[in-house]
Amino acid sequence: MKLKRNPFWKRVLIDIITINVLLLPAVLLRFLATPFKRGFYCDDEAIRYPFKNNTVTAVCLILLATVGPLTTFLVVEKLRIMLNQTKRDEKPIFWFEVYKYSVYYLIGLAISTSITFVCKFSTGRLRPHFIAICDPNITCVVDKYEYIFDYECRNQNLSAVDEARQSFMSGHSSIICFAVIFLILYLHLRINWKSVENIKIVIQTLLLLISICVAVSRINDNWHHWDDVVIGCLQGSILAFITVFFISDLKGEEEEEETLSRSP
């Protein structure tokens, strides 16, 4: 009964369903599918790098992509209420504003994640450390340019072998770039008072540097080829722009506030 009386809970339910539906392809592929089995050339040095542990672990990435944005939304929306930046008759409801932008963010992040996993599983590109993980049961003649498709991995850890076939595109890069570009645009559109303009620029620059460090670590750790990282960064950045300017109302609210500020 309460769900019918309060339209906000209807919105919450719809938002939860939407986010889960958008994330569903990634979840299904991750837990129910196996990547496309791709062959390799014996003389391909790009897949013969040693295995290294992740500098930025999955847990660390999740924290960066969730706690960071949520903290930003909380701080910025609180500051806007305190400084009455909206110039409206009524102050915005703090928790509703935080909730609204969190949902927009999660919707875009879910789309980006699903696109990443569809690419990973459909292409099956071999990671730079594939040979070290797979340990194929063939004898390669390096000087012979032969494409090897009929092989088996001696490594019995099937999940590790499947993981070694998911190089394209970089999930770390797409996720961190989506998060960072979304936050940079969010800060640009929501913080519009001149007294903290330099602070805003410093924060935006630091966010950009974080994304670069995370992306470059994927190459240095031998988990991705350079073009996997570049495409991942482009995909995440483009999805962030689409989310901000076509899915959310961030741009619309900024224009509305500028109109109200000019009115007598």
Q: Is residue 133 within 8 Å of 51, Cβ to Cβ? A: yes
147 φ, ψ (degrees, to nearest 5): -85, 120
As beta bridge partners, residue 148 has 40
Number of CB atoms found within 10 A of residue 53's CB: 7
- Distance from the Cα of residue 234 to its chain's centroid: 11
- Distance from the Cα of residue 264 to its chain's centroid: 43
- For residues 34 and 123, give the distance between their C-alpha atoms in angstroms, rounded to a whole number: 11
Burial 120-139, CB ≥16 within 10 A → b, else e: bbebbbbbbbbbbbbebeee
**CA atoms within 13 A of residue 96's CA, in its CB half-sphere:** 8
Burial of 155 (0-12, 13-18, 19+ CB in 10 A): middle
129 is catalytic: no
224 is catalytic: yes
- For residues 217 and 55, give the distance between their C-alpha atoms in angstroms, rounded to a whole number: 7
Of 129, 188, 224, 225, the active-site residue reads 224
Q: Is residue 112 within 8 Å of 182, Cβ to Cβ? A: no
Specify the DSSP class assigned to residue 166.
-
Tell how strand 40-41 and strand 147-148 pair up.
Answer: antiparallel
Q: Catalytic site residues?
A: 172, 224
